[in-house]
Amino acid sequence: MLQQISVFVENKSGRLYAVMETLSKATVDIRAMTIADTSDFGIVRLIVNDADKALQALNAENFTVKVTDVIGFTIPDKFGALCDVVRVLGEKDINIEYSYSLMGKEKGEADIVIRVNDTQKAEEILTGAGVKLISISDIL
């Protein structure tokens, strides 16, 4: 299981930079990032090398931050591999709320992050299906 940092920011020029600058000054390494936005605000979702340090640094700068458990996994970089994982989860009534890519380390593999409705059950299903789960030590 991975911890995801979600930062709520106003959707205006300079706010993403402020998040990046805060993490950079705290020597937090970003391993994955996605941004969801509306006209007024955005949610920057991050996987970092040190979630506790990121949380402390962002809170010190008065950002609104939330920590969420997510699942990271590795699949072969081949046609249909992600489809197979999504099918296995769907057959067991696991809903994927959102997904994004994670910086991979191995050629020929794709690393994915998902947020699901039941993290523990999804991890058990994926492990049982032979899917390699990612821990924070795998991405450092």
Q: What is the pLDDT of residues 53-76, one digit of tens each?
A: 999 999 999 999 999 999 999 999
Q: What is the pLDDT of residue 70?
A: 98
Query: What is the rounded average pLDDT of the residues 27-50?
Result: 94
Query: Is residue 139 pLDDT above 90, yes or no?
Result: no
Q: Report yes or no: 95 and 116 within 8 Å, Cβ to Cβ.
A: yes
Tell me what percent of the residues of the chain surpass a pLDDT of 70.
100
CATH of region 2-68, choose from 3.90.170.10, 3.10.20.30, 3.40.50.20, 3.30.2130.10: 3.30.2130.10
CATH class of 70-133: alpha beta
Q: What is the pTM of this model?
A: 0.91
pLDDT score of 140 more than 90: no
- Write out the residue limits of the CATH 3.30.70.260 domain(s) in the chain: 70-133
Query: Do 11 and 41 form a contact (C-beta atoms < 8 A)?
Result: yes
pLDDT of residue 37: 85
Q: If 0-12 CB within 10 Å is exposed, 13-18 middle and 19+ buried, where does residue 54 land?
A: buried
Predicted confidence (pLDDT) per residue in 95-124, tens digit: 999 999 998 778 889 999 999 999 999 999
pLDDT score recorded for residue 105: 78
